[in-house]
Structures are given as structure tokens and as C-alpha cells.
Amino acid sequence: MPKTILITGATAGFGEACARRFAAEGWQLILTGRRAERLEALQAELGEAVRQVIALDVRDREAVHAQLAGLSDIDVLLNNAGLALGLEPAWEVDLDDWETMVDTNVKGVMYCTRAILPGMVERNCGHVINIGSTAGSWPYPGGNVYGGTKAFVQQFSRNLRTDLLGTRVRVTEIDPGMAESEFSQVRFKGDDESAAKVYAGAEALSPADIAEAVFFVANLPGHVNVNAMELMCIDQAWGPLAVHRKEG
Ligand code: NDP
Ligand code: 8X3
């Protein structure tokens, strides 16, 4: 019996790469995202591996419940849909951008998890895989609320595990560093030049690298729970703590 993975944000980047990786290994896919035409194109490409496509905005609490809560046989929920908007300092930021990030990266993860988890607990089997970020652990200028939303993903993942102790439902948080996808085009609102600069001269992680990590944790024996996995490309590491010094 093939297993089923439900992927949020399957229309680009990590989610799309995960769709391809899991399909290649015989998994059934339920693919979601807002851009219906991309979901349909992926369905046409991957054929029978795609059980269903659902055009869905994860910020829409009622729609998430209506579309997902009836899916009681999901083996893996991949909470991947998310975004960063802007890199401005906190005092200059557009408050709408902060709200969009909270609504997507925090509330979207809550809504999808709450819709799918009862079926997993009922069947005493399943795996919630949440895509966090190095930004949830390591601050950087302009990361402000994006980093905050990913810190939520980290702590939510840990707390889910404690709620689920005694069941066979696993929870994993995967924290990538810089990875080249549409992420920076979204962050810089279509400014392709600024987006390209993020990756210039470095060999960033690819969506396929992240899909490999997701596939690995999902296919370990059922008693093995990877709590968290942080990945960076070889060209990225931490800098020293910043010190502001007076001139002269
Ligand atoms: P992409 O921009 O390439 O893909 C983002 C996906 O999220 C798209 O499929 C998009 O679909 C979906 N999405 C965004 N908003 C919504 C929404 N409101 N409802 C439903 N789907 C939505 O970025 P990545 O693949 O890089 O990002 C995937 C995840 O990984 C995000 O959570 C991101 O924060 C995280 N991440 C990214 C890193 C990077 O450097 N790229 C590093 C660490 C973490 P659509 O627009 O069709 O709705
Ligand atoms: C995406 C990685 O460093 O741009 O989460 O925040 S970073």
C-alpha cells in the first residue's frame, strides 16, 4: 500500500522538489498551494503519483479546515508553505508584511497541523515535518519577524512531540540555511537583481537537497524520530557577534 504525503507550498522550491522526490519512490501525493495552474502542471507531469491537488491559501482557517480535516489517512504532513517579506529594520518595516509572515508561517502551520493531526492520532501513525529555518535560531539584521515565525516553528515542533509522546506519530523540524528557490524573489517582491545577489558567488543549498533531507527523515524506521535537522551549504557559517564601536 503506497504511503501518502500532503505537501503545503508544492508550487515552487522545496515543496515542488519534495513532490518529485517522493513521487519517484512510489509515494502518493496531495499537493497544495495557491497557484492552481502550477499544481495542475505538476499533476500532469507526475501523473498517477498525484492523488489530489488542492488550491489552498494556508492563511484561510475555514478553507484549510474544509479542505484538509477530512483527510484521515495522511502518512506525512509536510508543513512547508511559507515566506519572508522584506529585510528592513524593525522600525521601518511595513506592518502588513509582518502580519503576512505571521499569518502564513505561524497560523498556516497551526491550521494545517490541527486539521491533519486527529487522523494521525486516531490511526496511531503519521509524521509531521515542519520546515523551519536557521533564521529561527540565529538572528540577522532584517530577519526580525521572519526569524520570530521560524522560532515558533521550532518550539511548536518540540511541543507537538511532547503532546504526542505515547503515540507513534513523529514530529521533525528541518532548518535549512540559504537555499536557492523563489524565496528571495518573494522576499524582494520581484526585484530579481536583489534576489540574485543573495546567492552570488556561493554554492547555495538547492530545493533537491532539502527534499533529500525530508525523504531521509520520513523513511527511517518508525521508532526513530529526528527531532530537528539543521542544514547549511558549505559556503555558509556563523559570523562573530557584532560590536558597535564609537568613531574616533
Ligand atoms: P518558494 O518561494 O520557492 O516556495 C514557497 C512555497 O510556499 C510556494 O509553493 C508558495 O505557493 C507557498 N506559499 C506561500 N504562501 C502561501 C500561502 N499563503 N498559502 C499556501 N501556500 C503558500 O520558497 P522555498 O521553497 O525556499 O520555501 C519553502 C519553505 O522553506 C518556507 O517555509 C521558507 O520560509 C523555508 N525556508 C526557505 C529557505 C531558503 O533559503 N529558500 C531556507 C530556510 C527555510 P503559492 O505562492 O502558489 O501559494
Ligand atoms: C531562509 C534562510 O537566511 O534567508 O529561511 O533567513 S534566511
Closest atom of ligand 2 relative to the 133 alpha carbon: 5
48-90 per-position pLDDT tens digit: 999 999 999 999 999 999 999 999 999 999 999 999 999 999 9
In a domain, 247, yes or no: no
Active site annotation includes 199? no
13-61 per-position pLDDT tens digit: 999 999 999 999 999 999 999 999 999 999 999 999 999 999 999 999 9
Spacing, Cα 247 to ligand 1 middle (Å): 41
Pocket test for ligand 2, best of 144, 145, 154, 178 (most atoms within 8 A of CB): 178
**What is the bridge-based pairing of β-strands 50-55 and 76-79?**
unpaired
Q: 10 Å Cβ neighbour count for 177? A: 17
Spacing, Cα 135 to ligand 2 middle (Å): 5
- Average pLDDT, rounded, for the chain: 98
- Ligand that comes closest to the CA of residue 179: 1
pLDDT above 90: residue 122: yes
In a domain, 243, yes or no: no
Between CA 229 and CA 212 the distance in angstroms is 12
Between CA 127 and CA 24 the distance in angstroms is 19
All 3 cell numbers of residue 118? 486527529
In a domain, 242, yes or no: no
The type of residue at 8 is T
In a domain, 152, yes or no: yes
Domain count, the chain: 1
In a domain, 73, yes or no: yes
In a domain, 16, yes or no: yes
Give residue 136's pLDDT band: very low, low, confident or very high (50, 70, 90).
very high
Give the closest residue (by CA) to ligand 1 atom 36: 133
Give the closest residue (by CA) to ligand 2 atom 4: 178
In a domain, 219, yes or no: yes
Query: Domain containing 54 — which CATH number?
Result: 3.40.50.720
pLDDT at 50: 98
- 8-to-33, 113, 173, 198, 229 alpha-carbon distances in Å: 6, 11, 15, 25, 19
List all residues 6 or more positions away from 24 whose beta carbon is below 8 Å from its beta carbon.
Answer: none
The type of residue at 44 is A
pLDDT above 90: residue 248: no
Give residue 213's pLDDT band: very low, low, confident or very high (50, 70, 90).
very high
In a domain, 56, yes or no: yes
Query: What percentage of the chain has pLDDT greater than the value 90?
Result: 99
- Domain span including residue 101: 4-231
